[in-house]
C-alpha cells in the first residue's frame, strides 16, 4: 500500500502521542525514577519535534538512544530479562518509537507496541481500578487506529479541538461494547495453563508485607499501607475481634538489632496441640500476592492447606512464594496447648540473648527473677510496667544501639514491634523462654459481603512465652498499653495522629472493598482449576482443555454468526418515495374505475384520463397537474430534490377524487 | 529469486482471473447503476492486520503464561474489537451504489474530468471509502486514491479524472472501490466496471493557420455586433463553452443561462478534408478540429466536409459536437 508512507496529520500524531502516554503512565508505579524521567523527556521531545515538522531521525541518533537505554537499564536492574527490566525496556522503546514517528507506517508500529505495553502493565497490578484505567488506554488505542484511516480532505481539515475527537471516541466505545460478548467468551473458554511456559528469575519483586525479619521500623511502613493483605470468608460466624490473631512468621533469633526466623523443620506429631472445649473454626483465605511464602492462619492452625507446610513453630509456609492471588482453606482452634515439653535446642534458642546489648533490661529481668520467683508474677510485672508508663504511637523517637534499653528506660513510646521485642528480651533475661510472633491482628468485617478484610496496616507483632506444663502462651504486650489497638484496630489507635480525612476515606474504602473481592474471586482468581470446574453446576465435574477449545470454537462461531447476520441483513428495500407516491396516485384512480394499464406510461395514462374523464372538472385539472408534476420530477432531472418529492407526495395524499355524475 | 517470485505471482493472478472472473478484472462491464452487495465484496487482512494479530497472539501467550486474567481480558477485548471490525468494514461498502457517471467533453491529450455519483441504500453514513480509477492507475501508478464519505441518504458527487491520450471512444474502465475502515486491519474491496464510454474529441492543432477564405467578412460582422444582439437564452448544459454564459442574465436567475446565437447563412466557411493535401490523416483531423473550435469562437457558420460525409453549414454547440464527433470517430489511419 503506497499510502502507508503518508505523513501523519496533527490530529493523528496527537492521538498516537496520547496512546503512548497512556501506555507509559500505566507503568509509572513500578518504573524507577530515572527511566520515568527519560521516557517522559522522550515523549516531550517527540511532541516538540512534530510541532516543528522536523525531518526523520538520523540513524546515528537512533543508535545513540539505544545505547543510552541499554546503559540506564543495566545500571538500574543489572539485567534486561524479567518482568521489571522487560517492561522498562518496552516503555523506553515505545517512547523512542514515538520520537521517530512520522508516517502512517510508523504509527502502526507504535500502535502494536503500545498494545503490548498496555497489556504488560497489568502484570504488575491486577486490581479492578487499574484494569478499568487500562481500558481507557484501549479506547484511546482504538480511537487512534480509527483516526489513522485516511479521511476526505474536508474531515481532515477540521480544527484540532477536543470536541472533534468525540465522534471517534464514541465510535470506539461502541465497538468495544459490541466486542465485549465475544471477548468474554474468549476469556471464559481460552484454556488456562496449569503451569507457566517460562518463568523469569527476577519475577519475585519487592512487595510490602510481613517479612521473616524484624528490625526497628520495619513494621512501620506496613502500618501506613492501606492495601489489602488478605480476605477471609468464615464458614460460620467470625470469632471476636480480640481473638483475631493471624499467625505469621515466628521470630526467635535476636542479634541485638534484628529478629530473625529460625528454621525449625516440620511440626511433629508429639507436639500436637490439644484443644480444650471449643471446636475448630473453618475459613477460606484469599491472600494477595506478597512474593513471600508465608501464609497466615488464625492462631492456631490445626490443619495444613494444600501446597503448604506447617513448621514446628506452628506457622504456615507455602512451598513457593505467593506471586499471584492464592486461595487456601484452613481450620484453627482458638483455645489451644502445644509444645507442652520443650526440646533442649529450642529452650536454648528461646532463652538466648546477644552479649553486650541492652544491659539494663537484662539486669531488670534478673532482678524480677530474684525478687518474684514465680513466672506468672514476672509476666504480670512486665505488663504492669507497660501499662503504667508507656504510650502507643506510630511515630516513636529514634532508638540507639541498645534499642530495648532506650525504649524501656528512655523514650517509652512505640508500637507493637517495640513492645513485643522489649517484652521478649525481659522474659528471656528472667529465664522464661519467649519469642516474637508476627502477623496481623483484627481486620474489617464487611457485613454485606460477609467476609473479613485484613489490610497491611493491620500488621502486628506479639510475644509468646513458654510455661512448663502449659506450653506456649500468647501474650500481647501492646494490648497492655493500648487495649484499643486490639479491640478496635490499628486505625482507631492512630486516628489522632493522621489527617482527618483518612478515617472517612478508610470507611468508604472498607465498604467499596466488596467490589474488589468480587473482582478478585470472579476474574483474577479464574485459574485452570476453576475453569475446569466451570460446568460443575450442570453435573460435569471436569472439562478437559480440548473440550474447552471446542466450547470456545462453538461459542465464538455462534457470536460471529450473529454478527454476520447483523452485517448482511438488508432492511426491506422501500420503494423510492417518488415511486411510492405515484403508485398511491394510480391506486386512487383505480379505485374510481380508471386503473392504469400495464403498458401505460404516465403521459399516455394522463391523456387517456383527459379524453375520457370519469372525474369531475375540478378534479380532472388537479389530476393533470399532478401527472405533469410527476413527469417533471421523474424525467426532467437526474436527481429530483427532496422537497419536490415531498410536495408531490403530500398533494397525492390530500387528493380527494370526485367522479362525474 | 525476486524475478521468480514475480513470475509466480503473475501466474497465480492469471489463474485466479480465469477461475474467478467475478473477483478479478475480467468481470464483465455492467450497466449503471451498480449496487454493491455481499456477493461482490471481498475481504482480506491488511499487512498491518496480520502484524497486529501476531502481536495479539504474543499478548495472549504472555498473559496466559503469567496466569494474569486482567491482561487476558484486555487481550480478548482488543482481539474481539479487531476481529469484529471486519463487519464494520463490510457494512461500509455494502449497498453503496454507483448511480451515474458524468463526463465533461475533452480533447485528446487533455485530462477527462469525470463526476461519479455515489449513493447508498443503507440508512447509515459511510466513512473512509477510497476509490481509484484503474485505467488511470495503469498510466500513473503512483496516483493516490480519492477518499470520501457518504452521508446517509445523500448522493455524493466524486470528481476524478482520466487521462485521454487518444481520440474516439474512451472506456471509463474499472473502478476499484475499497475501505479499511474502521481500524485499518481489513481490506474490504470491490470492482466497479461500468459499461460506459465517453467520447474524446480529436487533439487540437496548436498554432493552426487561420480559417480558410470567407472568414474575413464574417469576423468584421462579429466585431461590429452589439453584445445584446444574441437571439435567445437557454439553460446551461454541461459542456457549454464558458464564454457563452450570460453572466448578467444568470445573476437574475438561480441557474446559469447561455447565449444562443442564430446562425448566419451566407457567411459560412467550408472546412474540407480534401483541401488539406500534404498533411497526414491525424494532422488533418487535428487541423479541422482546431478550425471548428475557432469558427465557434468567432461565431462563424461553418461546414465540415469529410470523405464520407458533409455536415452543416451551421453554428452552435450541437453542430460543434456533431463535427467533433465525426472527426473523433474517423477510422484510424496508419501513421
pLDDT digits (tens, 9 = 90+) for A487-523: 656 555 554 444 455 566 666 767 777 788 788 878 8
Q: Which long-range contacts (CB under 8 A, 24 or more apart) does B50-55 make?
A: B51/A108, B51/A112, B52/A108, B52/A111, B52/A112, B52/A115, B52/B82, B52/B185, B53/B79, B53/B82, B53/B185, B55/A112, B55/A115, B55/A116
| B20 CB-near residues (< 8 Å, 6+ apart) | none
| B127:A151 CB<8 A | yes
Mean pLDDT of A587-591: 88
The rounded percent of chain B whose pLDDT value lies above 90 is 21
Mutate to test the interface with B, among A82, A104, A156, A175 (most CBs of B within 10 A): A175
- pLDDT for A176 beyond 90: yes
Mean pLDDT of B322-326: 91
Do A551 and A189 meet the contact criterion of CB atoms below 8 Å apart? yes
Q: Which three cell numbers stand for residue A32?
A: 524507577
Which residues from chain B sit within 8 angstroms of residue A526, using beta carbons? 69
Pick the residue from chain B with its C-alpha nearest to A180: B77
Which residues from chain B sit within 8 angstroms of residue A4, using beta carbons? 48
Neighbour count for residue A123 (Cβ, 10 Å) = 21
Beta bridge partners of B13: none
CA of A130, closest CA in chain B: separation in Å?
9
Q: How many residues would you count in chain B?
A: 335
Among B61, B117, B149, beta carbon nearest to A152: B149
- pLDDT for B28 beyond 80: no
The pLDDT, as a whole number, for residue B225 is 42
Which residues from chain B sit within 8 angstroms of residue A108, using beta carbons? 48, 51-52, 184
Q: Which three cell numbers stand for residue A553?
A: 470454537
The pLDDT, as a whole number, for residue A273 is 61
- Higher-confidence residue of B151 and A573: namely B151
Among B75, B88, B142, beta carbon nearest to A119: B75
DSSP state letter for B128: E
Residue from A212, A233, A211, A208 nearest A222 by CA:
A208
Q: Is the ipTM of this complex over 0.90?
A: no
- Higher-confidence residue of A151 and A113: namely A113
Helices B69-93 and A104-121: angle between axes, nearest 10 degrees: 150
Do A107 and A16 meet the contact criterion of CB atoms below 8 Å apart? yes
pLDDT digits (tens, 9 = 90+) for B224-262: 344 444 556 777 777 777 777 778 777 877 777 777 665
Lowest mean pLDDT among A442-451, B62-71, B180-189: A442-451
Mean pLDDT of B279-287: 87
The pLDDT, as a whole number, for residue B301 is 85
| A126:B70 CB<8 A | yes
Strand blocks (E) in A258-386? 259-261, 274-275, 281-287, 294-295, 297-298, 308-310, 316-318, 326-332, 336-337
Do B284 and B273 meet the contact criterion of CB atoms below 8 Å apart? yes
pLDDT digits (tens, 9 = 90+) for A50-100: 888 777 777 788 888 888 888 888 888 777 677 788 888 889 889 988 888
- Higher-confidence residue of A403 and A397: namely A403
The pLDDT, as a whole number, for residue B217 is 44
The pLDDT, as a whole number, for residue B142 is 59
| A186:B80 CB<8 A | yes
Hey, is A455 helix, strand or coil?
strand
Which residues from chain A sit within 8 angstroms of residue B92, using beta carbons? none
Mutate to test the interface with A, among B81, B90, B103, B132 (most CBs of A within 10 A): B81
| A198:B65 CB<8 A | yes
pLDDT digits (tens, 9 = 90+) for A178-213: 999 999 999 999 988 877 777 554 444 446 677 778
The pLDDT, as a whole number, for residue A496 is 44
The pLDDT, as a whole number, for residue A279 is 75
Burial of A434 (0-12, 13-18, 19+ CB in 10 A): buried
Which residues from chain A sit within 8 angstroms of residue B95, using beta carbons? 570
Mutate to test the interface with B, among A22, A134, A145 (most CBs of B within 10 A): A145
- pLDDT for A564 beyond 80: yes
For strands B302-305 and A297-298, give the pairing: unpaired
Helices (H), A122-273: 128-148, 153-156, 166-189, 220-223
Residue reference for cell 483475631: A244
The pLDDT, as a whole number, for residue B137 is 60
What is the band of A307 on the pLDDT scale with cuts at 50, 70, 90? confident
pLDDT digits (tens, 9 = 90+) for B166-219: 888 988 888 889 999 889 999 999 888 888 889 999 998 888 888 776 544 444
Dist. CA A110–CA A17, nearest whole Å: 9
CA of A110, closest CA in chain B: separation in Å?
11
What is the band of A423 on the pLDDT scale with cuts at 50, 70, 90? very high
The pLDDT, as a whole number, for residue B140 is 67
Mutate to test the interface with A, among B184, B187, B237 (most CBs of A within 10 A): B184
- pLDDT for A275 beyond 80: no
Which residues from chain A sit within 8 angstroms of residue B147, using beta carbons? 150-153
| A149:B123 CB<8 A | no
What are the CA-CA distances from residue A424 to residues A241, A313, A375, A462 (Å)?
A: 24, 16, 13, 9
Mean pLDDT of A574-590: 82
CA of B137, closest CA in chain A: separation in Å?
12
Lowest mean pLDDT among A186-195, A649-658, B24-33, B272-281: B24-33
The pLDDT, as a whole number, for residue B223 is 39
Hey, is A329 helix, strand or coil?
strand
Most confident of A65-74, A171-180, A299-308, A475-484: A171-180
- Higher-confidence residue of B102 and B154: namely B102
CA of A5, closest CA in chain B: separation in Å?
11
Do B282 and B298 meet the contact criterion of CB atoms below 8 Å apart? no
Hey, is B147 helix, strand or coil?
strand
| A138:B184 CB<8 A | no
Residue ranges of the domains in chain B?
28-200, 215-227+264-328
The pLDDT, as a whole number, for residue A212 is 79
What are the CA-CA distances from residue A566 to residues A167, B90, B261 (Å)?
A: 22, 11, 59
| A192:B47 CB<8 A | no
CB pairs under 8 A between A and B: 172
Which residues from chain A sit within 8 angstroms of residue B84, using beta carbons? 175, 178-179, 182, 563
Do B180 and B186 meet the contact criterion of CB atoms below 8 Å apart? yes
pLDDT digits (tens, 9 = 90+) for A315-332: 888 888 887 788 899 888
CA of B83, closest CA in chain A: separation in Å?
9
Pick the residue from chain A with its C-alpha nearest to B62: A120
| B62 CB-near residues (< 8 Å, 6+ apart) | A116, A119, A120, A123, B71
CA of A140, closest CA in chain B: separation in Å?
12
Do A110 and A20 meet the contact criterion of CB atoms below 8 Å apart? yes
Do B236 and B270 meet the contact criterion of CB atoms below 8 Å apart? no
Dist. CA A419–CA A437, nearest whole Å: 12
Which residues from chain A sit within 8 angstroms of residue B123, using beta carbons? 571
CA of B116, closest CA in chain A: separation in Å?
13
Neighbour count for residue A141 (Cβ, 10 Å) = 24
- pLDDT for B263 beyond 50: no
Which residues from chain B sit within 8 angstroms of residue A564, using beta carbons? 87
Mean pLDDT of B66-86: 92
Q: Which three cell numbers stand for residue B229?
A: 444582439
Pick the residue from chain B with its C-alpha nearest to A529: B67
- Higher-confidence residue of A347 and A227: namely A347
What is the band of A558 on the pLDDT scale with cuts at 50, 70, 90? very high
Mean pLDDT of A97-125: 90
The pLDDT, as a whole number, for residue A497 is 46
Q: How many residues would you count in chain A?
A: 661
Angle at A526 between CA A247 and CA B75, to 5 degrees: 125
What is the band of B222 on the pLDDT scale with cuts at 50, 70, 90? very low
Dist. CA A559–CA A182, nearest whole Å: 7
Mean pLDDT of A136-158: 84
Mean pLDDT of A635-654: 83
Q: Which three cell numbers stand for residue A23?
A: 501506555
What is the band of A344 on the pLDDT scale with cuts at 50, 70, 90? confident
- Higher-confidence residue of B297 and B16: namely B297
CA of A648, closest CA in chain B: separation in Å?
19
- pLDDT for A107 beyond 70: yes
CA of B322, closest CA in chain A: separation in Å?
24
The pLDDT, as a whole number, for residue A25 is 93
The rounded mean pLDDT for chain A is 83
| A567:B87 CB<8 A | yes
Among A122, A153, A571, beta carbon nearest to B71: A122
Beta bridge partners of B130: B147, B178
Angle at B48 between CA B42 and CA B54, to 5 degrees: 105
Among A108, A115, A638, beta carbon nearest to B78: A115
Among A134, A186, A570, beta carbon nearest to B76: A186
Amino acid at each position: 500500500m503506497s499510502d502507508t508512507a503518508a505523513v501523519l496529520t496533527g490530529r493523528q500524531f496527537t492521538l498516537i502521542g496520547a496512546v503512548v502516554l497512556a501506555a507509559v503512565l500505566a507503568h509509572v508505579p513500578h518504573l524507577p525514577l530515572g527511566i520515568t524521567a527519560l521516557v517522559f523527556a522522550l515523549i516531550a521531545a517527540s511532541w516538540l519535534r512534530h510541532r516543528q515538522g522536523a525531518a526523520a531521525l538520523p540513524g546515528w541518533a537512533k543508535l545513540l538512544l539505544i545505547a543510552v537505554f541499554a546503559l540506564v537499564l543495566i545500571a538500574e536492574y543489572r539485567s534486561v530479562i524479567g518482568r521489571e527490566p522487560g517492561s522498562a525496556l518496552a516503555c523506553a522503546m515505545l517512547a523512542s518509537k514515538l520520537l521517530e514517528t512520522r508516517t502512517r507506517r510508523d504509527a502502526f508500529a507504535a500502535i502494536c507496541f503500545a498494545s503490548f505495553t498496555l497489556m504488560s502493565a497489568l502484570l504488575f497490578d491486577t486490581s479492578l481500578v487499574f484494569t478499568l484505567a487500562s481500558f481507557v488506554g484501549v479506547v484511546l488505542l482504538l480511537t487512534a487506529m480509527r483516526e489513522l484511516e485516511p479521511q476526505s480532505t474536508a474531515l481532515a481539515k477540521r480544527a484540532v479541538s477536543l470536541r472533534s475527537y468525540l465522534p471517534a471516541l464514541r465510535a470506539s466505545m461502541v465497538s468495544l461494547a459490541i466486542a465485549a460478548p465475544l471477548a468474554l467468551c474468549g476469556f471464559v473458554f481460552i484454556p488456562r495453563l496449569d503451569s507457566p511456559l517460562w518463568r523469569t528469575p527476577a519475577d519475585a519483586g519487592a512487595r510490602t508485607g510481613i517479612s521473616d525479619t524484624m528490625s526497628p521500623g520495619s513494621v512501620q511502613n506496613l502500618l501506613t499501607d492501606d492495601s489489602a493483605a488478605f480476605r477471609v470468608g468464615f464458614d460460620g460466624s467470625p470469632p471476636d475481634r480480640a481473638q483475631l490473631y493471624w499467625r505469621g512468621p515466628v521470630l526467635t533469633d535476636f542479634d541485638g538489632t534484628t529478629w530473625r526466623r529460625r528454621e525449625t523443620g516440620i511440626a511433629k506429631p508429639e507436639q500436637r496441640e490439644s484443644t480444650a472445649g471449643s471446636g475448630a473454626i473453618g475459613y477460606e483465605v484469599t491472600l494477595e500476592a506478597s512474593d513471600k511464602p508465608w501464609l497466615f492462619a488464625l492462631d492456631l492452625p490445626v490443619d495444613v492447606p494444600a501446597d503448604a507446610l506447617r513448621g514446628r513453630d506452628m506457622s504456615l509456609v507455602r512451598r513457593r512464594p505467593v506471586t499471584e492471588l492464592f486461595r487456601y482453606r484452613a481450620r484453627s482452634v482458638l483455645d489451644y496447648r502445644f509444645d507442652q515439653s520443650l526440646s533442649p535446642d529450642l529452650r536454648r534458642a528461646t532463652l538466648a540473648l546477644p552479649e553486650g546489648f541492652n544491659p539494663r533490661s537484662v539486669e531488670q529481668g534478673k532482678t524480677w527473677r530474684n525478687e518474684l520467683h514465680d513466672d506468672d508474677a514476672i509476666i504480670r510485672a512486665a505488663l504492669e510496667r507497660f501499662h503504667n508508663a508507656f504510650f502507643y504511637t506510630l511515630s516513636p523517637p529514634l532508638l540507639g544501639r541498645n534499642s530495648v534499653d532506650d525504649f524501656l528506660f528512655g523514650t517509652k513510646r512505640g508500637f507493637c514491634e517495640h513492645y513485643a521485642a522489649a517484652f521478649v528480651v525481659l522474659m528471656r533475661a528472667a529465664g522464661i523462654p519467649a519469642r516474637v510472633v508476627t502477623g496481623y491482628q483484627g481486620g474489617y468485617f464487611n457485613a454485606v459481603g460477609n467476609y473479613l478484610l485484613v489490610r497491611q496496616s493491620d500488621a502486628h507483632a506479639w510475644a509468646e512465652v513458654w510455661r512448663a506444663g502449659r506450653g506456649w502462651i500468647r501474650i500481647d504486650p501492646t494490648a497492655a498499653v493500648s487495649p484499643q489497638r486490639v479491640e478496635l484496630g490499628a486505625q482507631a489507635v492512630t486516628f489522632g495522629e493522621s489527617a482527618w480525612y483518612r478515617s472517612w476515606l478508610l470507611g468508604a474504602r472498607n465498604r467499596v472493598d466488596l467490589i474488589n473481592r468480587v473482582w478478585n474471586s470472579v476474574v483474577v482468581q479464574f485459574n485452570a482449576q476453576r475453569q475446569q470446574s466451570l460446568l460443575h453446576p450442570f453435573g460435569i465435574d471436569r472439562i478437559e482443555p480440548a473440550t474447552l477449545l471446542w466450547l470456545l470454537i462453538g461459542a465464538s462461531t455462534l457470536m460471529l454468526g450473529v454478527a454476520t447476520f447483523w452485517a448482511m441483513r438488508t432492511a426491506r428495500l422501500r420503494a423510492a418515495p417518488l415511486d411510492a407516491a405515484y403508485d398511491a396516485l394510480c391506486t386512487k384512480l383505480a379505485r374510481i374505475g380508471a386503473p392504469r394499464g400495464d403498458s401505460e406510461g404516465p403521459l399516455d395514462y394522463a391523456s387517456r384520463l383527459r379524453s375520457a374523464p370519469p372525474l369531475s372538472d375540478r378534479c380532472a385539472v388537479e389530476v393533470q397537474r399532478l401527472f405533469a408534476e410527476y413527469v417533471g420530477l421523474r424525467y426532467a432531472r437526474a436527481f429530483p430534490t427532496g422537497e419536490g418529492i415531498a410536495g408531490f407526495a403530500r398533494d397525492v395524499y390530500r387528493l380527494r377524487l370526485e367522479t362525474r355524475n | 529469486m525476486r524475478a521468480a517470485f514475480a513470475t509466480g505471482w503473475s501466474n497465480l493472478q492469471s489463474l485466479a482471473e480465469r477461475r474467478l472472473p467475478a473477483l478479478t478484472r475480467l468481470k464483465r462491464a455492467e450497466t449503471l447503476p451498480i449496487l454493491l452487495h455481499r456477493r461482490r465484496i471481498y475481504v482480506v487482512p491488511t499487512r498491518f492486520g496480520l502484524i497486529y494479530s501476531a502481536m495479539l497472539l504474543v499478548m495472549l501467550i504472555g498473559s496466559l503464561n503469567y496466569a494474569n486474567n486482567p491482561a487476558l481480558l484486555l487481550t480478548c477485548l482488543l482481539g474481539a474489537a479487531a476481529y469484529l471490525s471486519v463487519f464494520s468494514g463490510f457494512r461500509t461498502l455494502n449497498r453503496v451504489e454507483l448511480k451515474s457517471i458524468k463526463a465533461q467533453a475533452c480533447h485528446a491529450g487533455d485530462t477527462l474530468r469525470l463526476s461519479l455519483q455515489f449513493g447508498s441504500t443503507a440508512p447509515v453514513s459511510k466513512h473512509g471509502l477510497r476509490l481509484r480509477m484503474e485505467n488511470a492507475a495503469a498510466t500513473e501508478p503512483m496516483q493516490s486514491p480519492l477518499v470520501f464519505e457518504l452521508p446517509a441518504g445523500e448522493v455524493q458527487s466524486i470528481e476524478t479524472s482520466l487521462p485521454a491520450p487518444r481520440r474516439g471512444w474512451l472506456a471509463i474502465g474499472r473502478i476499484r472501490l475499497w475501505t479499511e475502515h474502521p481500524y485499518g486491519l481489513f481490506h474490504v474491496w470491490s470492482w466497479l466496471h461500468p459499461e460506459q464510454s465517453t467520447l474524446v474529441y480529436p487533439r487540437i492543432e496548436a498554432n493552426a493557420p487561420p480559417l480558410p477564405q470567407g472568414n474575413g467578412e464574417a469576423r468584421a460582422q462579429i466585431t461590429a455586433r452589439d453584445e445584446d444582439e444574441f437571439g435567445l437564452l437557454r439553460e446551461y448544459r454541461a459542456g457549454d463553452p464558458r464564454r457563452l454564459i450570460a453572466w448578467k442574465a444568470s445573476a437574475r436567475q438561480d441557474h446559469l443561462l447561455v447565449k444562443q446565437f442564430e446562425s448566419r447563412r451566407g457567411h459560412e466557411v467550408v472546412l474540407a478534408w480534401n483541401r488539406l493535401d500534404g498533411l497526414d490523416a491525424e494532422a488533418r483531423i487535428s487541423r479541422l478540429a482546431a478550425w471548428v473550435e475557432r469558427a465557434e469562437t468567432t461565431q462563424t457558420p461553418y461546414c465540415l466536409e469529410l470523405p464520407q460525409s458533409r455536415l452543416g453549414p451551421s453554428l452552435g454547440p450541437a453542430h460543434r459536437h456533431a463535427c467533433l464527433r465525426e472527426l473523433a470517430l474517423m477510422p484510424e489511419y496508419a501513421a
